[in-house]
Amino acid sequence: MRILTDKFFLLCYCFGTLLFTKADTSYVSSFLTGVALSATLYFFYKEGRTKQGILASLHHPDYNLVTTLLYGIALFFLPRLCLFTPLIAYDAMAIGNYPALLLYLIGITAFCISDIPILWIFLIFGLFLACYLARQTLSYTELHTLLKKTRDDSTELNLLLSEKNQALLDNQDYEIYTATLRERNRIAREIHDNVGHMLSRSILMVGALKAINREQALDAPLESLDGTLNTAMDNIRTSVHDLHDESVNLREVIEGLTGGFSFCPVTLEYDISFDVPRDVKYCFITIVKEGLSNIAKHSNASHAYLTLREHPGFFQLVLSDNGTVSMNDSDSGLGLINMRDRVSTLKGTLEISREKGFKIFIMIPKT
């Protein structure tokens, strides 16, 4: 757009020669030639610059160079073409054709300096004006290109930085989640090993006291103490079991199962958040154990694939292999029956496919 603006301005400037010469047929011919040639040169331009800082042509790299040079030679045979030389000089300057600019200067001087000196000054000024505008446009194009490149690079770096930050945040959340589960497991173990043993010893001691007690006045207090200790022990057991169940890290367990599977390599794709219901955790762990065991016993697969993914409304598990031997001729195998029972308990569905290997597809809805 900037090039078109410059050329329109120079065309208007060239019409200023009407102040010093008449608009005859040769003038109109010079005008049409200059406009047609300038439009053709613009058509072959592309916005961009070469390593030397010169605008490159779109299809024929030498077309603009030769055309502007031939126009300079034509000035010596058709002097009236000098009247629109500033318009073509703009293109010559844009492609760095300095020999053509020298020919324009010589042609204008030969045509005008002796007959119409004021026209010579007008055209020479127009020649320098065209060179100045072309240089300014080249600088503007270069800066604009650099700006767009810098902006694109900045956007790319920002996106990359955002991805890195998100990965760090996800990893930090996972580390916190893992540390929390380990701490719960440690607390459960400490309660079981210390408080549980102390309560067990207290219950045994109360039982011994009840056995050797001969005073009826102490029967009721000892019975109450025994009941309290047993209730405390039951509560401790329940709390320890809950803590242990909640401390199970599904991802670590699944990665341990697939990493320790020596029959064939297993490709794991895990995309589940931290907040997984306990029943779903143990269901998936049990099914993965049973599925990998069946692959090792009944399949000749060389590779297995395990996918655990969380969707907005359900959890998904897909276990498949590339074996050619079916693990079971029917769906009545004990392992598959157990899988179906576990999945149906959670109101899920289990589908089996034997095309291109054995595949188990499980979907458990979120409650």
Same-domain check for residues 48 and 134: yes
What pLDDT, on a 0 to 100 scale, did the predictor assign at position 174? Answer: 66
Full residue range of the structural domain in which residue 324 is found: 250-365
Same-domain check for residues 28 and 112: yes
Same-domain check for residues 264 and 236: no
pTM for this entry: 0.45
| Residue given tokens 């060239």 in the structure block | 14
> Please, what is the Cα angle at 239 between 224 and 257, to 5 degrees?
150
Residues in the chain predicted with pLDDT less than 50, given as ranges, are 47-61, 327, 329-330
Q: List pLDDT tens digits, range 167-194.
A: 877 777 667 666 766 776 777 677 767 7
Q: List pLDDT tens digits, range 314-362.
A: 999 999 998 875 545 445 567 788 888 889 988 999 998 888 788 899 9
Domain count, the chain: 3
What pLDDT, on a 0 to 100 scale, did the predictor assign at position 319? Answer: 93
Same-domain check for residues 219 and 317: no
Residue 76 three-state SS = coil
Left, alpha or beta for 96 (phi > 0: left; psi -120 to 50: alpha)? left
Same-domain check for residues 8 and 69: yes
In order, the DSSP letters of 262-326 are -SS-EEEEEE--S---HHHHHHHHHHHHHHHHHHHHH---S-EEEEEEE-SSEEEEEEEE--SS-
- Domain assignment present for residue 54? The answer is yes
Same-domain check for residues 116 and 193: no
